[in-house]
Amino acid sequence: MSEKPEKTKKLSTEPYKGVRDFYPVDMAIQNYIFDTWKKTAESFGYEEYGASVLEPANLYKAKSGDEIVNEQTYTFIDRGEREVTLRPEMTPTLARMVAAKKRELVFPLRWYSIPNLFRYEQPQRGRVREHWQLNVDLFGIDGISADVEIISLASQVMKDFGATESDFLIKISSREWLDKWLEWLALELGDDLKTQTNKEHLFKLLDIKDKDPERFAAGLKKIRSDLTPNLVLGKEIDWDAIEKNLNVKTKSLTSKLKAAGINNAIIDLTSVIRGFDYYTGIVFEIYDTDPKNRRALFGGGRYDDLTSLFGGDRIPAVGFGMGDVTIRDFLETRGLLPKTKAPADYYICVMGQEEAAFAEKIAKNLRDNGSRVAVDFTYKKIGDQIKSADKRGILNVIVIGPEEAKNGKVKVKNLKSGEEKAL
Ligand code: HAM
């Protein structure tokens, strides 16, 4: 039973832990981020889709990864005894939607969405319990060109936000390459590293090696007492050995990205692991080059088998998710956020109630001509009303008193230049 708040106790003004309120200044930033996301995605020919935040819980159990499902989902039983989850990510929903209509849809699909997602995480810088995420996904293309397009789009979003290539780094790895690397490592350090359990441990540890080097070292010791970070990572990676028998060549990916005008992408095999079990090919993450910000800004990868969970053929897919929290932090620290726009083009100051109808008429005329107009009906001193316009950053002020109402002539004052003009 839910407890009723005591009548005498005041309710808290704090939002629920880990979620955010969006005051108008925040909303203006949010809208700027969403507008930029949409513009970039649409410039590559991507179409927008959407879905409900509620999903059956079993959608995530098959392939999302243990940490997300067991520790991070908001799951509850509804009134009809169904287990329901507030979606923690969009990819399973997207795979479900594509699988449901695969006969009608025209492939390749280029789709994007900006869903609100919920994860029960420990709130900290860059991590909250509710965030919005641009999802860009390309379905139906097996080849490396699709990987290049998705990484190019990810890079273009950053550039459209005003970032230059020196501000961010694209780190690329691949599940296939990681498997080959492990084979090579096992050749050097012993076959027991290749067992499924050791492989999973090793990959999970790699995921934390930069964030938590001590836990990384301790974890390696647990796999085998003689394993040290130096032994595992210290050797120059033998790319030729790793690339043998692979269709996707690492060098060809970086050179194709260069040809697409991307010069800040590097192959970093053991740095980009990503937490989801559904990735099958390349995985990538974008990092801030400022060493103070060590967390990935966003990431994605190829997942060619997810639609087969719903029966039928596999459909190759590649995409990424970019969160609003990390990009906002990045834009703020880099001074890349544009100045917020004033809420109106004109502010009409009204001396008294008698002039209110005339003020409204002027406002309507201006609005009919496409301007944004706010009318101050406080009837405070005109000086105070002008201050109020100034505080909101509104540039043009119109003062309406008995004189203006009588002869119908109105002047506009530009608060910045002080200039006055007849309207
Ligand atoms: P992800 O790495 O879990 O991938 O999330 C992508 C991005 O969403 C993160 O890099 C971060 O920007 C943001 N994000 C994730 N969790 C939080 C959080 N708790 N608070 C704030 N921001 C967060 C995915 O979700 C994949 N489904 C992406 C994908 C799409 N892969 C292929 N297509």
Show the tokens assigned to 421: 């003009």
Query: Is pLDDT above 80 for 46?
Result: yes
| pLDDT for the residue numbered 180 | 80
pLDDT surpasses 90 at 92: yes
pLDDT of 262 > 90? The answer is yes
The number of angstroms, rounded, from the C-alpha of 199 to the middle of its chain's C-alpha atoms is: 30
Residue 274 Cα to ligand 1 midpoint, Å, equals 10
What per-residue confidence (pLDDT) applies to 202? 87
- No. of H helices and E strands in the chain? 15, 17
pLDDT above 80 (res 57) = yes
Which SS3 state, helix, strand or coil, does residue 112 take?
A: strand
C-alpha 124/C-alpha 122 separation (Å) is 6
Pair type for strands 373-376 and 396-400? unpaired
> Cβ(396)–Cβ(413) under 8 Å?
yes
CA of 185 to the centre of ligand 1 (A): 30
Q: How far is the CA of 47 from the centre of ligand 1 (A)?
A: 20
What is the side-by-side strand order in the sheet with 420-422?
373-376, 346-350, 396-400, 411-414, 420-422
Q: How far is the CA of 377 from the centre of ligand 1 (A)?
A: 46
Ligand 1 pocket (Cβ < 6 Å) reads 89, 91, 119, 121, 127-128, 131, 133, 135, 137, 296, 298-301, 319-323, 325-326
- Which DSSP string corresponds to 127-183? B-SEEEEEEEEEES--SHHHHHHHHHHHHHHHHHTT--TTTEEEEEEEHHHHHHHHH
Identify whether the C-beta of residue 137 lies closer than 8 Å to the C-beta of residue 154: no
Other Cβ atoms closer than 10 A to 241: 13
Mutational pocket test of ligand 1: of 280, 324, 325, 327, the residue with most ligand atoms within 8 Å of the beta carbon = 325
pLDDT at 405: 93
CA of 90, closest atom in ligand 1: 27
In DSSP notation, 325-383 reads HHHHHHHHHTT-PPPPPPS-SEEEEESSGGGHHHHHHHHHHHHHTT--EEEE-S---HH
**Residue type for 3, please?**
E
> What is the total residue count of the chain?
423
Is the CB of residue 273 less than 8 Å from the CB of residue 151?
no
Helix H or strand E encompassing 55? strand 54-56
Q: Identify the pLDDT of residue 220.
A: 92
Q: Give dist(CA 165, CA 265) in Å, integer.
A: 9
Helix (H) or strand (E) holding 363: helix 356-368
In Å, how far are 148, 248, 364, 366, 370 from 170, measured between CA atoms? Answer: 12, 18, 51, 48, 43
**CB atoms inside a 10 Å sphere around CB 67:** 14
* 298 CA from centroid of ligand 1 (Å): 6
Q: Give distance in angstroms: CA of 134 to centre of ligand 1.
A: 9
Q: Give the residue from 111, 76, 104 showing the smallest Cα distance to 90.
A: 111
Q: Is the dihedral of CA 339, 341, 342, 346 positive or negative?
A: positive
pTM, full prediction: 0.91
Q: What is the pLDDT of residue 239?
A: 65
Give dist(CA 395, CA 411) in Å, integer: 14
Instruction: Kindly report, residue by residue over 376-395, the tens digit of the pLDDT.
Output: 999 999 999 999 999 999 99
Q: Indicate if the pLDDT at residue 247 is higher than 90.
A: no
pLDDT digits (tens, 9 = 90+) for 302-347: 999 999 999 878 999 999 999 999 999 999 999 999 998 899 999 9
Diameter over CA atoms, the chain: 95
- Identify which of 50, 113, 117, 60 has the alpha carbon closest to the alpha carbon of residue 83: 60
Radius of gyration over every alpha carbon of the chain, rounded to an integer in angstroms: 28
pLDDT tens for 184-221 read 788 778 888 888 888 888 888 888 888 789 999 999 99
- Which residue's alpha carbon is at the smallest distance from atom 24 of ligand 1? 321
- Of 96, 116, 120, 133, which is best to mutate to test ligand 1, by the most ligand atoms within 8 angstroms of its C-beta? 133
Does the structure show a pLDDT above 60 at 249?
A: no
What is the pLDDT, as a whole number, of residue 81? 97
The answer to whether 313 and 99 are in contact (CB under 8 A) is no
Instruction: With a cut of 80, say whether residue 8 has pLDDT above it.
Output: no
**What mean pLDDT value characterizes the chain?**
91
pLDDT mean over 405-409:
93
- Predicted confidence at residue 184, as pLDDT, reads 78
Centroid of chain to Cα 360: 42
